[in-house]
Structure formats: structure tokens, C-alpha cells
């Protein structure tokens, strides 16, 4: 056992990935949370026996048991008082299953479901109306979905001989949501989860400031006093401006954060690129009651929310959604291929795989000039240049730039006054983001450990 008094522990529970690090007074070391990697997907899988697994194993178990099978839905009448909710909706306005209940007045049970996967739970933490998520018949509190991930982290630290009596733990500047109390609500929930995981003594610290601390530790000789951190992750975009005083001491001049991350970008890619390949904008011909042929636009908008929320896409397996798709397939013509894809995606539950393919495609475009979004399961092969991709995600890029400028404004400085810009977080690897920062802060932008900077700084 190491000398506990000298070990600082940092834990970064992220929307997409989690990491942990220890500081022995001299060096910072990352803890291996997965086989051979310090980066653990923030994922929890709960099977029908309510057994829980976390990390990559959770994702593998979900894909193995829940995709590529025909979904069979059975309606279940629910009591009025029951609050059953699913994953967040893309705009972050409402939990999807609550939405579906409001519309249908019933919840649907997927009888073949082997288990439920939860990812991006951090995005829901600030949403007071999301209290519980249903796993089969059992409502799970959000806290209970996060705790297993934190327990895993504590155990991996202990395997490394580190006693986890206290830890410094990260939080975004602002959690996602519209509620004015969202940060308070989220921190309470997160704190409770750390407590349940046996990490009772935890101090919260803003993630972008932690990223700057790790930079100053790694490069104490770096020149310049005014530092801007841009941490662009899976769920949030976080900023801070620090002014260095003597040595590595600093004061915080400003912080800023918005709910924009890689998850939002993935949904954007899905709607801009894939919706048209799945039948959006096509015509729907069918016989009316008087046997006259009616032709209207296919009501694709009815499918959109559920398609963008992979955790609840299975709810599309209801006649009122599947019948129009089947009618469009039988009407023939060129659009038939598109509706066949839509049918496969819905029936075989390929939604998660589709998002996975989108993530890989996006990452490929961070290193290559063109890439192919290849989803063999639904017969999609879309080639795009990086330029075209940037056009697809342009709205997000504009928001990133506006938020950077807003941060500078809050710090009451000009872009030229910033000496060092730290670019961190997985989404900061997007070349267009780098390019935008280089334009505002020429020759001052540093790529700083995109996936591990926060945990290292917290330690
Ligand atoms: N090479 C890449 N190019 C573009 N995006 C990437 C790349 N690699 C990872 N990403 C995206 O980065 C995001 C994950 O980044 P990161 O691990 O920093 O987030 P996080 O810390 O889990 O989230 P947050 O800090 O928002 O809670 C994902 O959305 C992922 O798709
Ligand atoms: Mg992060």
C-alpha cells in the first residue's frame, strides 16, 4: 500500500469516457480502468437478472444480445403515477419515454430485450424531471446507474494498491438542461453516487480548470500568463481563463460552458446525412377508404426523435410506424431501397450500431480528407470529404466559435491577450475546431492530452 497521505486521486466521470489518475507528490500516473487502457467508456449495462456490468464489456454485452434481432413489442398499460423515462431526447428537452407515454398513454415492452445499456447518463443529471429509468419492471434512479461505474473506478484504484479515502472529482461548468437549478441538482446526484461507491470524501472541481492544472504541472516552463482552456467533450463544451501568478499558482478570471458535445454532433450527422437515405422527403402512396389513391409526403418527422435516441428506437416497432414503411416498400420505385433500410434499422434494432459507425466515421475525418460512412447492416455507404462533413456540422462549429468569443468577453480581455490556448477533450480533435482556434489565436494553441487531461489535473 502506498503512503496514502501523499496520494492525490483525481476522477473524471465523463459523458462518453471516464478516467482516473493519482499524484504521488511528484508524478501523475493514469490508472488502467480497462484492459490496457486508462480510458473507460462511461457505460452501464443491466441484464434481465438485474446484474450490472460497466465499461466496454457493457457495450459488448448490449450489442451481442440486443441488436440484429427482430424486436417484438407488447403494449403495457401503466398506472398514472408511474414515471418511466428513457434516454434524453436530442434537444435535451425531455426524456424520450416520458414523451412516448405522453403521446401514447402506454409504455411498450420489448419482449426480447436481454438488457438495457445506459450511456451519456451524465447528460441527464441536471434534469429534475428525469428521476428513474426503467430496467424491465424495475425503476432505477439515475444515481444507481452511475454508481457502478464509480465502484469500478474505486476497485481499479485499489487493485493498484491505492486506498481511496478521498478524491478530487470533476464537474462541467454547466450541466446540460434548462432548469436554473440544474447544476445544484446534478452535483447532489453525482455526490450521492460517489458516496454510494464508497468515495465519501470527494471535492468537486471544474473540469476545464483541472485540464489547465495538468498542463501547468507537465510544462511549468511554458511561457505566458493568460491561459484559455477549451475542453470539448462528449456532452459539454467547457472553458476557463486563468491568470498565472508566481510559479504555478493562478487565479480564475472566467469560466463558461454550454451543452454541446460530440453526442450532439453525432445526432446532427445522423439527421443531415442519414435521414434522406432512410426515406425523408419521399412520397407515400396508399389507398384511402374510398379506394381512391392518396399521395402525401412520408411523415418522416414522426420517426425522427425516436431514431435519434438509440435507447428508445425500438419503440418504432408499432404498427402505426411500420405500416407506412411497408406500404412505401410495396409501392416500388427508387425510394423502395430507402424504406427497406428504415425497416431494417427499426426491426433489427441497429440504431446503436448506426451511432457507433457515425462516431468512427467522424473520427476518421479528423485524420483523413475523406471517409466512408459504412453501415453494411442497413446497406448504407456514404462517402464524404472533410469539407462536406464540415458543412454538415456547420451549426455546431458556429456555436463553438461563439462560445469561445463569449468566454473571452467574460474574461474582459481580447483574443490577442491570451498567451496559451489549451485544446482538450475528444471533440477538440475535429480539424475545423483546431482551425478556428488557430485563426483566433495564431501560434498559441496547444493540443493537451484530449482524453486524460482532466483526471490528471484533478489528481
Ligand atoms: N478523433 C476524433 N475526432 C472527433 N471526435 C472525436 C474523436 N475521438 C473522439 N471524439 C469524440 O469525443 C467525444 C468524447 O470526448 P471526451 O472523452 O473528452 O468526452 P467526455 O469527457 O466523456 O465528455 P464530457 O467532458 O462532455 O462529459 C465523443 O463524442 C467522441 O465521439
Ligand atoms: Mg470531459
Q: What are the tens digits of pLDDT across the range 138-161?
A: 889 999 999 999 999 999 999 989
Report which of 10, 41, 7, 13 is spatially closest to residue 150, judged by C-alpha positions: 13
Residue 111 has pLDDT above 90, yes or no: no
309 domain residue, yes or no: yes
DSSP 60-80: HHHHHHHSSS---EEEE---T
| Residue 27 in grid coordinates | 508524478
23 domain residue, yes or no: no
Name the residue with cell 430485450: 113
CA–CA dist 382, 277 (Å, integer): 9
What contacts 188, CB < 8 A, 6 or more positions away?
Answer: none
Angle made by CA atoms 98, 41, 200, in degrees to the nearest 5:
85
% of the chain residues with pLDDT over 70: 90
Report which of 173, 186, 182 is spatially closest to residue 231, judged by C-alpha positions: 173
Residue 39 has pLDDT above 50, yes or no: yes
338 domain residue, yes or no: yes
146 domain residue, yes or no: no
> What is the model's pLDDT at position 70?
75
Mean of pLDDT values over 303-323: 92
The mean-pLDDT minimum among 60-69, 155-164, 187-196, 392-401 falls in: 60-69
Ligand 2: centre distance to CA 152 (Å) = 18
262 Cβ closer than 6 Å to some ligand 1 atom = yes
What contacts 314, CB < 8 A, 6 or more positions away?
Answer: 71, 73, 108, 110, 113, 349, 351
Ligand 1: centre distance to CA 236 (Å) = 10
> What is the model's pLDDT at position 93?
39
CA–CA dist 177, 179 (Å, integer): 6
Mean of pLDDT values over 250-268: 97
Q: Of ligand 1's atoms, which has the minimum distance to the CA of residue 359?
A: 31
Cα distances (Å, whole numbers) of residue 8 to 24, 37, 164, 214, 457? 7, 20, 9, 13, 10
Output Rg (C-alpha) for the chain, integer angstroms: 23
Helix, strand, or coil here: 6? helix
Residue 81 has pLDDT above 50, yes or no: no
State the ligand closest to the CA atom of 365.
Answer: 1
Residue 80 has pLDDT above 60, yes or no: no
Distance between the two ends of the chain, CA-based, in angstroms?
A: 18
Phi-psi region of 92 (alpha: psi -120 to 50; beta: other; left: phi over 0): left
Q: What are the tens digits of pLDDT across the range 227-256?
A: 999 999 999 999 999 999 887 899 999 999
Residue 67 has pLDDT above 80, yes or no: no
Pairwise pLDDT comparison (76 vs 227), residue with the higher score: 227
What average pLDDT does the chain have? Answer: 90
Residue of 427, 435, 449 with the most ligand 1 atoms within 8 Å of its CB, for mutation: 427
Angle between helices 394-410 and 262-269 (to 10 degrees): 150
> What is the model's pLDDT at position 287?
82
Sign of CA dihedral 55, 13, 21, 260: positive
Question: Per-residue confidence at 458, pLDDT binned at 50, 70, 90?
Answer: very high
121 Cβ closer than 6 Å to some ligand 1 atom = no
Mean of pLDDT values over 364-376: 97
426 Cβ closer than 6 Å to some ligand 1 atom = yes
Owning domain of residue 286: 265-371
101 Cβ closer than 6 Å to some ligand 1 atom = no
Ligand 1: centre distance to CA 407 (Å) = 21
Chain-centre distance of CA 213, in angstroms? 24
User: Which residue stretches of 76-181 are H helix?
Assistant: 96-104, 142-159
**Element spanning 53, H or E:** strand 52-54
> What is the model's pLDDT at position 137?
81
274 domain residue, yes or no: yes
58 domain residue, yes or no: no
47 domain residue, yes or no: no
Ligand 1: centre distance to CA 232 (Å) = 7
Question: Per-residue confidence at 401, pLDDT binned at 50, 70, 90?
Answer: very high
362 Cβ closer than 6 Å to some ligand 1 atom = yes
351 domain residue, yes or no: yes
Q: What are the tens digits of pLDDT across the range 269-309?
A: 999 999 999 999 999 988 877 888 889 999 999 999 999 99
Q: Of ligand 1's atoms, which has the minimum distance to the CA of residue 450?
A: 18
Q: Of ligand 1's atoms, which has the minimum distance to the CA of residue 12?
A: 21
Sign of CA dihedral 325, 314, 114, 359: positive
78 Cβ closer than 6 Å to some ligand 1 atom = no
> What is the model's pLDDT at position 246?
80
State how many domains the chain has.
1
Q: Of ligand 1's atoms, which has the minimum distance to the CA of residue 262?
A: 29
CA–CA dist 379, 343 (Å, integer): 12
Whether the CB-CB separation of 216 and 222 falls below 8 Å is answered with yes
Residue 5 has pLDDT above 70, yes or no: no
Amino acid at each position: 500500500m502506498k503512503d496514502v497521505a501523499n496520494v492525490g486521486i483525481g476522477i473524471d466521470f465523463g459523458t462518453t469516457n471516464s478516467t482516473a489518475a493519482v499524484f504521488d507528490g511528484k508524478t501523475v500516473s493514469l490508472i488502467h480502468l480497462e484492459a490496457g487502457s486508462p480510458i473507460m467508456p462511461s457505460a452501464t449495462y443491466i441484464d434481465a437478472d438485474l446484474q450490472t456490468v460497466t465499461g466496454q464489456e457493457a457495450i459488448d454485452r448490449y450489442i451481442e444480445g440486443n441488436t440484429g434481432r427482430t424486436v417484438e413489442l407488447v403494449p403495457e398499460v401503466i398506472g398514472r403515477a408511474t414515471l418511466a423515462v428513457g434516454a434524453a431526447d436530442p434537444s435535451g428537452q425531455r426524456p424520450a419515454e416520458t414523451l412516448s407515454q405522453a403521446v401514447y398513454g402506454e409504455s411498450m415492452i420489448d419482449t426480447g430485450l436481454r438488457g438495457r445499456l445506459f450511456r451519456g447518463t451524465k447528460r441527464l443529471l441536471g434534469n429534475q424531471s428525469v428521476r428513474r429509468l426503467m430496467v424491465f419492471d424495475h425503476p432505477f434512479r439515475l444515481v444507481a446507474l452511475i454508481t457502478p461505474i464509480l465502484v469500478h473506478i474505486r476497485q481499479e484504484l485499489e487493485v493498484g494498491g491505492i486506498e481511496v479515502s478521498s478524491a478530487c472529482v470533476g464537474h462541467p461548468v454547466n450541466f446540460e438542461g434548462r432548469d436554473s437549478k440544474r447544476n445544484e441538482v446534478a452535483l447532489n446526484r453525482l455526490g450521492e453516487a460517489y458516496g454510494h461507491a464508497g468515495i465519501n470524501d470527494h471535492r468537486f472541481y471544474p473540469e476545464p480548470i483541472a485540464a489547465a492544472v495538468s498542463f501547468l504541472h507537465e510544462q511549468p516552463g511554458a511561457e505566458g500568463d493568460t491561459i484559455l482552456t477549451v475542453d470539448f467533450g462528449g456532452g459539454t463544451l467547457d472553458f476557463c481563463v486563468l491568470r498565472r501568478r508566481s510559479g504555478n499558482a493562478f487565479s480564475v478570471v472566467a469560466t463558461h460552458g454550454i451543452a454541446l458535445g460530440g453526442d450532439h454532433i453525432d445526432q446532427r450527422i445522423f439527421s443531415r446525412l442519414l435521414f434522406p437515405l432512410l426515406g425523408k422527403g419521399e412520397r407515400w402512396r396508399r389507398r384511402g377508404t374510398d379506394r381512391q389513391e392518396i399521395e402525401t409526403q412520408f411523415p418522416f418527422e414522426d420517426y425522427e426523435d425516436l431514431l435519434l435516441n438509440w435507447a428508445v428506437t425500438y419503440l418504432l416497432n408499432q404498427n402505426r410506424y411500420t405500416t407506412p414503411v411497408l406500404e412505401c416498400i410495396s409501392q416500388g420505385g427508387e425510394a423502395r431501397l430507402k424504406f427497406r433500410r428504415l425497416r431494417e434499422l427499426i426491426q433489427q434494432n441497429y440504431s446503436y450500431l448506426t451511432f457507433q459507425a457515425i462516431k468512427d466515421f467522424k473520427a476518421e475525418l479528423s485524420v483523413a480528407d475523406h471517409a466512408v460512412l459504412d453501415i453494411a447492416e442497413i446497406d448504407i455507404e456514404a462517402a464524404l470529404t472533410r469539407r462536406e462533413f464540415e458543412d454538415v456540422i456547420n451549426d455546431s462549429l458556429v456555436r463553438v466559435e461563439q462560445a469561445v468569443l463569449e468566454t473571452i468577453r467574460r474574461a474582459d480581455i481580447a483574443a490577442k491577450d491570451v498567451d496559451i490556448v489549451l485544446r482538450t477533450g475528444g471533440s477538440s480533435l475535429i480539424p475545423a475546431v483546431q482551425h478556428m482556434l488557430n485563426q483566433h489565436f495564431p501560434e498559441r494553441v496547444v493540443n493537451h492530452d484530449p482524453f486524460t487531461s482532466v483526471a490528471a489535473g484533478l489528481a
